[in-house]
Amino acid sequence: MQPNTIKPLDDEARLAWLRLIRSENVGPVVFRQLLDRFGSPAAALSALPEVAARAGGKRRIRICSQADAEAEMAATRRAGARLLAWCEPAYPAPLRELEDAPPLLIVLGDPAALSAPAVGIVGARNASANGRRFAQGLAAEIAEAGYAVVSGMARGIDTAAHLGALPRPSVAVLAGGVDVVYPPENDRLHRDLQDRGAVISEMPLGTKPQARHFPRRNRLISGLSCGLVIVEAAKRSGSLITARFAAEQGRDVFAVPGSPLDPRAAGCNHLIREGATLVESAAQILDDLRAPLPAPPGSSAPGSSAPGSSPTGLQQVFAPQAPPPPTPPIAERAEAGPNERRDLEELLGPEPIMVDELVRLSGLPIGVVHSALLDLELAGRIERHPGNRVARLYKAPADLL
């Protein structure tokens, strides 16, 4: 997004953004591509039925109605929250850079908490007493140094990190609606975060967190942060998914080592073997971070550099190839025809694959691939996954128009 496109939205424009992102099969990547192709949310809403039908949609795509969007906006206001679009100055700049950044964030609390450089701290829900104590002390020192602490308000390490950061700014990223307290025992923490920081989500108010929502939530924790710290994590855990997103997004990844006898240390020890930075203190993290110290919005600190300017070993493991090229501008686009859509769908299976790998395997121009994927996703024939991955949905009919 170009700097001259960053500006506040009025209520009418915000309503159009909300209608588009709440329409069927429109996720963050499709939203961005629709804006690129049609120029505005209103034009994209008008074009949705035709685009979905030409890729094999067998029924009319459901478009969020004006009344439903107005009702959601009113409910958001009543809850004391606000809808923040990625084109607005208050939207967190590190998150805006991501291809799958949410077009709209729901923010409960102070949006200014999203402007400070941030460090993510995540880990095991069934954390040990020592792990919780370490995470809380780590967060307190990082917050004292001027960084917002970002986590997911889950039990264990997440809760300890938020408690350590408070009363300084801390940001909780939820898998459900910002008004849904999960776990329930964190009701007081939820209120404190609103008062001293922010609670955010891309999900509508009232959404109950489900297992499939957590990976989407995790990409936002890492995307908001210039560095991510893992404190206790099993070998297969959501924290390692967050670490993978952080590495792919070019963020620094730190892991706290633990005893090989404790399964809660297996994930951290694995990350360290793969190239994550071993840390035993907040001072090490603060020394390694290249993000600027807090400054007024729009300013930059001398000598600072963007996350990922010097890839770590872990970034090289998770992203061994050059990052995929950006979505082509409208002038370079080529519309996909039935044959290209069919060929790409046949290349896809139930396991998600990187879009840049799909470009390589298909041999098609990147503009054609993006066009075909947009059509197929709107038709409900493929599914987008965090990390610029796509997978085939086999419930969809096999024939293409």
Question: What string of DSSP letters covers 331-394?
Answer: GG-----HHHHHHHHHH--SS-EEHHHHHHHH---HHHHHHHHHHHHHTTSEEEETTTEEEE-T
The answer to whether 104 and 161 are in contact (CB under 8 A) is no
Question: Packing angle between helix 187-196 and helix 157-165, nearest 10 degrees?
Answer: 40
Tokens of 378: 């709107």
Question: 302 or 177: which carries more pLDDT confidence?
Answer: 177
For residue 164, the model assigns a pLDDT of 98
Model pTM? Answer: 0.83
> Per residue in 231-277, pLDDT tens?
999 988 999 999 999 999 999 999 999 999 999 999 999 999 999 99
Structural domains present in the chain:
3-88 (no CATH), 109-318 (3.40.50.450), 330-392 (1.10.10.10)
Residue 76: predicted pLDDT = 97
pLDDT tens digits, one per residue of 331-389: 445 678 888 898 999 999 999 999 999 999 999 999 899 888 998 988 889 999 887 89
User: How sure is the predictor about 54, in pLDDT bands with cuts at 50, 70 and 90?
Assistant: confident
> Could you report the per-residue pLDDT of 305-326, keeping only the tens digit for each?
445 444 555 665 555 333 444 4
Per-residue pLDDT at 29 exceeds 70: yes
Lowest-pLDDT range, 86-90, 164-168, 313-317? 313-317
Between residues 336 and 13, the one the model is more confident about? 13
